[in-house]
Amino acid sequence: MKILHSLATGLVPPLCAACGRSCRPGAFACTRCTRRLADAKPIAGGGPQGLDRCWSSASHEGVARDLVTALKFRRLLPVAGLMAERIEWLAPASLLSGSIVPVPTSPLRTLRRGFDPAAEIASALAELTGLTLSTCLGRSGGGRQVGRRRGERLGHPPRVRPKAEVPRSVLLLDDVLTTGATLSACARALRSAGAVRVVAITFTRRL
Protein backbone atom coordinates (compact mmCIF):
# COMPACT_ATOMS: atom_id res chain seq x y z
CA MET A 1 0.00 0.00 0.00
CA LYS A 2 2.87 2.29 0.84
CA ILE A 3 4.30 1.84 -2.64
CA LEU A 4 0.88 2.44 -4.18
CA HIS A 5 0.50 5.58 -2.12
CA SER A 6 3.91 6.78 -3.22
CA LEU A 7 3.03 6.13 -6.84
CA ALA A 8 -0.29 7.89 -6.44
CA THR A 9 1.36 11.05 -5.13
CA GLY A 10 4.17 10.79 -7.66
CA LEU A 11 6.66 10.62 -4.84
CA VAL A 12 9.74 8.45 -4.70
CA PRO A 13 10.33 8.45 -0.93
CA PRO A 14 14.10 8.86 -0.66
CA LEU A 15 14.32 11.92 -2.94
CA CYS A 16 14.27 15.52 -1.69
CA ALA A 17 11.19 17.38 -2.98
CA ALA A 18 13.21 20.57 -3.44
CA CYS A 19 16.53 19.48 -5.01
CA GLY A 20 15.95 15.86 -6.03
CA ARG A 21 18.94 14.52 -4.10
CA SER A 22 18.46 11.49 -1.94
CA CYS A 23 17.43 12.06 1.65
CA ARG A 24 16.74 9.94 4.69
CA PRO A 25 13.73 7.61 4.55
CA GLY A 26 10.49 9.22 5.63
CA ALA A 27 11.75 12.78 4.99
CA PHE A 28 10.50 14.89 2.11
CA ALA A 29 13.48 17.25 2.03
CA CYS A 30 17.19 16.58 2.44
CA THR A 31 19.21 17.90 5.38
CA ARG A 32 20.78 20.64 3.26
CA CYS A 33 17.45 21.96 1.95
CA THR A 34 15.85 21.69 5.40
CA ARG A 35 18.67 23.79 6.82
CA ARG A 36 18.43 26.35 4.01
CA LEU A 37 14.69 26.66 4.48
CA ALA A 38 15.18 27.10 8.23
CA ASP A 39 17.49 30.05 7.44
CA ALA A 40 14.93 31.77 5.18
CA LYS A 41 13.41 34.85 6.80
CA PRO A 42 9.65 35.36 7.07
CA ILE A 43 8.15 38.58 5.69
CA ALA A 44 5.57 40.57 7.64
CA GLY A 45 3.61 43.72 6.91
CA GLY A 46 3.06 45.70 3.73
CA GLY A 47 0.30 43.33 2.64
CA PRO A 48 -2.37 43.84 -0.01
CA GLN A 49 -5.31 46.17 0.43
CA GLY A 50 -8.25 44.96 2.47
CA LEU A 51 -6.27 42.77 4.86
CA ASP A 52 -5.78 43.58 8.52
CA ARG A 53 -2.43 41.81 8.53
CA CYS A 54 -0.36 39.68 6.21
CA TRP A 55 2.57 37.32 6.80
CA SER A 56 4.60 35.05 4.55
CA SER A 57 6.96 32.34 5.77
CA ALA A 58 9.73 33.10 3.22
CA SER A 59 10.47 35.05 0.06
CA HIS A 60 9.76 33.24 -3.19
CA GLU A 61 13.26 31.95 -3.89
CA GLY A 62 15.57 29.03 -3.25
CA VAL A 63 14.23 26.00 -1.40
CA ALA A 64 10.90 27.69 -0.54
CA ARG A 65 10.22 28.35 -4.24
CA ASP A 66 11.30 24.82 -5.18
CA LEU A 67 8.80 23.40 -2.70
CA VAL A 68 5.98 25.51 -4.18
CA THR A 69 6.89 24.14 -7.61
CA ALA A 70 7.02 20.58 -6.27
CA LEU A 71 3.53 20.91 -4.80
CA LYS A 72 1.93 22.82 -7.66
CA PHE A 73 3.44 21.31 -10.74
CA ARG A 74 4.80 17.95 -9.61
CA ARG A 75 1.88 17.19 -7.30
CA LEU A 76 4.04 16.19 -4.35
CA LEU A 77 1.17 16.46 -1.90
CA PRO A 78 3.18 15.69 1.29
CA VAL A 79 4.97 19.00 0.67
CA ALA A 80 1.76 20.74 1.79
CA GLY A 81 2.39 19.22 5.23
CA LEU A 82 5.95 20.57 5.30
CA MET A 83 4.68 24.04 4.41
CA ALA A 84 2.00 23.92 7.10
CA GLU A 85 4.60 22.86 9.67
CA ARG A 86 6.81 25.82 8.83
CA ILE A 87 3.86 28.20 9.03
CA GLU A 88 2.70 26.78 12.36
CA TRP A 89 6.24 26.97 13.71
CA LEU A 90 7.03 30.57 12.67
CA ALA A 91 3.81 32.55 12.22
CA PRO A 92 2.94 35.04 14.98
CA ALA A 93 0.53 33.33 17.38
CA SER A 94 -1.91 36.24 17.05
CA LEU A 95 -2.34 35.43 13.35
CA LEU A 96 -3.11 31.77 13.93
CA SER A 97 -6.70 32.27 14.99
CA GLY A 98 -10.14 32.40 13.42
CA SER A 99 -11.21 30.06 10.64
CA ILE A 100 -8.73 29.07 7.94
CA VAL A 101 -10.09 29.89 4.48
CA PRO A 102 -8.05 28.70 1.48
CA VAL A 103 -7.81 31.17 -1.40
CA PRO A 104 -9.95 29.56 -4.12
CA THR A 105 -8.37 28.35 -7.34
CA SER A 106 -10.39 28.56 -10.55
CA PRO A 107 -12.55 25.44 -10.92
CA LEU A 108 -10.94 24.68 -14.29
CA ARG A 109 -7.46 24.59 -12.85
CA THR A 110 -8.48 22.40 -9.93
CA LEU A 111 -10.13 20.06 -12.38
CA ARG A 112 -7.01 19.92 -14.52
CA ARG A 113 -4.64 19.42 -11.59
CA GLY A 114 -6.90 17.12 -9.66
CA PHE A 115 -6.16 19.00 -6.45
CA ASP A 116 -5.97 22.51 -5.07
CA PRO A 117 -2.58 23.49 -3.56
CA ALA A 118 -3.92 26.23 -1.25
CA ALA A 119 -6.63 23.89 0.05
CA GLU A 120 -4.03 21.19 0.76
CA ILE A 121 -1.86 23.56 2.84
CA ALA A 122 -4.94 25.00 4.59
CA SER A 123 -6.19 21.57 5.54
CA ALA A 124 -2.75 20.49 6.86
CA LEU A 125 -2.55 23.72 8.89
CA ALA A 126 -6.04 23.21 10.31
CA GLU A 127 -5.00 19.76 11.45
CA LEU A 128 -1.82 21.06 13.10
CA THR A 129 -3.42 24.03 14.85
CA GLY A 130 -6.88 22.69 15.59
CA LEU A 131 -8.43 25.71 13.83
CA THR A 132 -11.58 25.28 11.77
CA LEU A 133 -11.27 24.93 8.01
CA SER A 134 -13.87 26.80 5.96
CA THR A 135 -13.99 26.52 2.19
CA CYS A 136 -16.49 29.35 1.95
CA LEU A 137 -15.03 31.12 -1.10
CA GLY A 138 -15.47 30.22 -4.75
CA ARG A 139 -14.00 31.62 -7.90
CA SER A 140 -15.80 32.10 -11.16
CA GLY A 141 -14.20 31.96 -14.58
CA GLY A 142 -10.93 30.36 -15.58
CA GLY A 143 -8.86 33.51 -15.08
CA ARG A 144 -5.22 32.64 -14.63
CA GLN A 145 -2.87 34.88 -12.71
CA VAL A 146 0.29 32.94 -13.55
CA GLY A 147 1.78 34.14 -16.82
CA ARG A 148 -0.07 37.43 -16.81
CA ARG A 149 1.87 40.62 -16.42
CA ARG A 150 1.76 42.37 -13.09
CA GLY A 151 -0.19 45.34 -14.48
CA GLU A 152 -2.71 43.01 -16.11
CA ARG A 153 -3.17 41.04 -12.92
CA LEU A 154 -3.84 44.15 -10.87
CA GLY A 155 -6.22 45.44 -13.54
CA HIS A 156 -8.16 42.17 -13.74
CA PRO A 157 -8.58 40.81 -10.24
CA PRO A 158 -10.18 37.36 -10.15
CA ARG A 159 -13.90 37.15 -9.42
CA VAL A 160 -14.30 35.72 -5.94
CA ARG A 161 -17.63 35.14 -4.22
CA PRO A 162 -18.85 33.55 -1.00
CA LYS A 163 -20.38 30.14 -1.62
CA ALA A 164 -21.17 29.31 2.01
CA GLU A 165 -21.58 31.11 5.31
CA VAL A 166 -18.53 33.30 5.98
CA PRO A 167 -16.81 33.20 9.41
CA ARG A 168 -16.47 36.50 11.29
CA SER A 169 -12.75 36.01 11.83
CA VAL A 170 -10.81 34.73 8.82
CA LEU A 171 -7.26 33.55 8.25
CA LEU A 172 -6.83 33.44 4.47
CA LEU A 173 -4.28 30.95 3.23
CA ASP A 174 -2.42 30.73 -0.08
CA ASP A 175 0.81 29.21 -1.35
CA VAL A 176 2.29 32.34 -2.97
CA LEU A 177 1.62 36.06 -2.62
CA THR A 178 2.42 37.84 -5.87
CA THR A 179 0.55 41.07 -6.60
CA GLY A 180 -1.99 40.61 -3.84
CA ALA A 181 -4.89 41.12 -6.29
CA THR A 182 -6.36 37.73 -5.41
CA LEU A 183 -6.03 38.24 -1.64
CA SER A 184 -7.65 41.68 -1.93
CA ALA A 185 -10.53 40.23 -3.95
CA CYS A 186 -10.99 37.55 -1.28
CA ALA A 187 -10.93 40.14 1.51
CA ARG A 188 -13.60 42.21 -0.28
CA ALA A 189 -15.85 39.19 -0.77
CA LEU A 190 -15.41 38.10 2.85
CA ARG A 191 -16.10 41.54 4.31
CA SER A 192 -19.15 42.07 2.13
CA ALA A 193 -20.49 38.80 3.56
CA GLY A 194 -19.90 39.82 7.19
CA ALA A 195 -16.28 39.03 8.09
CA VAL A 196 -14.88 41.58 10.55
CA ARG A 197 -11.28 40.34 10.74
CA VAL A 198 -9.37 39.21 7.66
CA VAL A 199 -5.68 38.34 7.92
CA ALA A 200 -3.60 36.32 5.47
CA ILE A 201 -0.72 33.88 5.53
CA THR A 202 1.14 32.63 2.48
CA PHE A 203 4.02 30.18 2.29
CA THR A 204 6.10 32.46 0.05
CA ARG A 205 5.98 36.04 -1.17
CA ARG A 206 7.44 37.42 -4.38
CA LEU A 207 9.12 40.70 -3.54
What is the DSSP pairing of strand 169-177 with strand 197-205?
parallel
User: C-beta of 111: minimal distance to Zn ion in Å?
Assistant: 31
Residues of the shown chain interacting with Zn ion in the complex, contacts defined by CB under 5 A: 16, 18-19, 30, 33
φ, ψ (nearest 5 deg) of residue 137? -110, 145
User: C-beta of 139: minimal distance to Zn ion in Å?
Assistant: 33
CA distance 93 to 98: 11
Residues 118/105, Cβ–Cβ less than 8 Å: yes
Query: Which residues, in sequence order, are CB contacts of 69 under 8 Å at separation 6+?
Result: none
Which of 18/136 has CB closer to Zn ion?
18
Q: How many residues comprise the chain?
A: 207
Which of 83/119 has CB closer to Zn ion?
83
User: C-beta of 55: minimal distance to Zn ion in Å?
Assistant: 25
Which of 16/166 has CB closer to Zn ion?
16
Which of 34/110 has CB closer to Zn ion?
34
CA distance 44 to 22: 33
User: What is the distance of C-alpha 76 from the center of its chain?
Assistant: 14
User: C-beta of 141: minimal distance to Zn ion in Å?
Assistant: 37
Give burial (CB, 10 Å; 0-12/13-18/19+) of 45: exposed
User: C-beta of 129: minimal distance to Zn ion in Å?
Assistant: 27
Residues 37/83, Cβ–Cβ less than 8 Å: no
Which of 29/54 has CB closer to Zn ion?
29
User: C-beta of 124: minimal distance to Zn ion in Å?
Assistant: 20
